[in-house]
Structure formats: C-alpha cells, structure tokens
C-alpha cells in the first residue's frame, strides 16, 4: 500500500528518475530567489555607472550554490526530524521517495558551501574582506534555518530571515562589490524584493501548515491559521507594490519601473489559487505563482534600471 501511495505522489508531481532526482533536490523553482537579488543589485550599480560582469557572474554562482545547499539541508533535517514522508509535497523527495542516503544529501550541501567559499575568496580579493564576514553569516543562517537545536523554520521568523538575508542583504552585497559603497536608494529599492522573497517562504508555510503543525513548528501560518495567512500574504504583496509606487513618485526608481506592476497579475493569481484550497498538493500552483511573482517583478525591475541607463 505504501509503495502504491509513493508511486501516486511521484506521478502527480511528475517526478522522474536519473538527473531529475538531483535537479529536484535543489528545488529549482526557488532558485530565482537567488538570481533576482543579484540581478537587481547589479542593475542598480549599472544605473550608477559601475559594473564588472565577472564579479556579477561569481556572485550569481555563489548565491545559487548557497541557496541550493540550504534547500539540501532543509531536505536532510526535515527527514531526520520526521517531518517529511512519502506523501510530502514541495520537497525534492530525494530521500523519502528516491531512496538516496540522507548523509549523501548533507555532504553534498557542505560541498556546495565549500565551492561557494572558494568563489567568495575571489569576490573578497576583488572588493573587500568584509564580504567574507557577511557571507559566512548568511551561510550560517542558511544552515540554521533547519539545522541546529532550534531551527529558524520552526519559529515565526522564517519569512523575516529569508526575506532580509536573501533580499536586502544579497542586493546590498552585490551592489557593494560593484561600487564599493552602500546607498540609501539601494536600500529602498531592495524593500519590495525583500517582501516578495519572504512571501515565497510564507506561501510554502501556508501550503505546509497542517504537516508543520503536526511536526511542532510554530510558523506564522500555524499560529494565525490558513485563511488569515492568505489575507496577510495578499496584504504584503500590496505593501510591496505600494512601496514601488512610492519609489516611482519620489524619483528613486525611473519611470520605466512601471513595468514591475505587470507582475501584479501573477500576484493576484497566487492569492486566487490559495483561496478555498485545503490540501498541500492543491496549493502547489499558488505557491509556484508566488515564486513567479518575485521572478517577474525582479526581472522587470532589473530591466527597467537597465533601460533607464541605456535610453
């Protein structure tokens, strides 16, 4: 019976064998949360006349590796703590459905961290060794999100940490290695991205609320309930677009950044697809739409800054 259920879930999630096993492990739908901040931070710097494409590439690869490693730690520790099973969705399923040894997943995550550190050394040599301090702190929080005695993912602060560290901090680092400074305008521009990245984590927790509650997690979704969480998610999206409007009015963002509001269609779709859904697998499209909202918004924001500089 258990084998049949496992097969059914794999089929429903379109999980295939071979390379796809390892691709799923990195949770590719979340990796744009690493690409967007690096892209936006670089475009803010470019808008101010500074850009080094080699540093951009190095920062992008390092960020993707750290994000993928964090996802692997998540896979490993959720399994170790008994939170994941054959029917869990939103995970790679590499351990519970594909039978890969848990320690192999954990060790691969450490290898990814190691490679990102080597890339980080180059970034520090080209910019500042303070980047090493900030980078190591980010990596530590990536590990502590599901690792350590009190995982961040078991508290109501997961969205805050993921949004700030992957949004504002990564944008700030990317901007700094290009310009050698940090500006107030860069901080303001990073706020909507910070909110939208936090929303990816929030939507994940809304989807997983029932399982998280049984597993002892105290996420926002667990504490206030699914319907109130969906309303809060919608409110946060409105705040992100409200801040964007304010940045346009004050001239911090160029007129081209009106393009970012096109992503609002995907944000609306995410909320609509959450409403009335009860099971985790039913909410998968809503979670995907939330992640795509950040992707589309970030891409259009970066392009708008590029256009403002070129035209």
Task: Give the Cα separation of 158 and 152 in Å (integer).
Answer: 6
Domains, in order of start, for the chain: 2-304 (1.10.600)
Q: Is the pLDDT of residue 128 over 50?
A: yes
Task: Give the Cα separation of 202 and 215 in Å (integer).
Answer: 17
pLDDT at residue 5, as a whole number: 47
Mean residue pLDDT of the chain comes to 90
Mean pLDDT of 205-230: 94
The Cα angle at residue 145 between residues 131 and 137, in degrees rounded to 5: 15
The Cα angle at residue 249 between residues 248 and 255, in degrees rounded to 5: 40
The Cα angle at residue 122 between residues 118 and 123, in degrees rounded to 5: 110
- pLDDT tens, 159-180? 999 999 999 999 999 999 999 9
**Coil, helix or strand for 223?**
helix
pTM over 0.75: yes
Task: Give the pair of three-digit tokens for residue 99.
Answer: 């039978």
- pLDDT tens, 47-87? 888 789 999 999 999 999 999 999 899 889 988 888 777 76
The secondary structure of the chain in percent helix, strand, coil, rounded to multiples of 5, reads 75, 0, 25
pLDDT at residue 306, as a whole number: 93
Task: Give the pair of three-digit tokens for residue 62.
Answer: 């390092």
Q: Is the pLDDT of residue 88 over 90?
A: no
pLDDT at residue 104, as a whole number: 93
Winning range, highest mean pLDDT, from 12-16, 18-22, 212-216, 250-254: 250-254
Q: Is the pLDDT of residue 112 over 90?
A: yes
**Coil, helix or strand for 288?**
helix
Band (pLDDT 50/70/90 cuts) for residue 13 is low
């Amino acid at each position: 019976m258990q084998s049949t259920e496992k097969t059914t879930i794999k089929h429903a999630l379109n999980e295939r064998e071979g390379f796809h096993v390892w691709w799923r492990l990195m949770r590719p739908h979340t990796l744009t949360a690493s690409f967007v901040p690096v892209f936006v931070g670089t475009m803010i710097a470019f808008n101010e006349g500074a850009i080094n494409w080699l540093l951009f590439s190095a920062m992008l690869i390092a960020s993707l590796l750290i994000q993928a490693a964090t996802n692997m730690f998540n896979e490993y520790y959720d399994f170790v703590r008994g939170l994941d099973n054959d029917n869990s969705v939103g995970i790679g399923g590499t351990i519970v459905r594909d039978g890969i040894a848990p320690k192999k997943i954990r060790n691969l995550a450490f290898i990814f961290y190691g490679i990102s550190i080597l890339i980080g050394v180059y970034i520090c040599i080209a910019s500042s060794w303070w980047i090493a301090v900030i980078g190591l702190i980010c990596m530590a929080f990536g590990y502590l999100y599901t690792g350590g005695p009190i995982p961040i993912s078991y508290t109501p602060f997961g969205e805050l940490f993921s949004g700030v560290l992957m949004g504002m901090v990564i944008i700030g680092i990317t901007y700094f290695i290009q310009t050698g400074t940090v500006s107030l305008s860069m901080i303001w521009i990073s706020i909507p991205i910070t909110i939208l990245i936090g929303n990816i984590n929030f939507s994940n927790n809304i989807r997983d609320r029932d399982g998280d509650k049984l597993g002892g997690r105290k996420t926002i979704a667990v504490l206030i309930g699914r319907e109130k969480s969906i309303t809060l998610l919608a409110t946060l999206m409105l705040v992100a677009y409200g801040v964007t409007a304010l940045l346009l009015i004050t001239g911090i963002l160029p007129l081209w950044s009106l393009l970012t509001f096109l992503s609002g269609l995907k944000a609306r779709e995410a909320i609509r697809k959450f409403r009335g859904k009860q099971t985790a697998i039913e909410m998968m499209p809503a979670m995907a739409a939330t992640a795509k909202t950040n992707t589309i918004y970030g891409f259009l924001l970066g392009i708008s800054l590029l256009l403002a500089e070129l035209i």
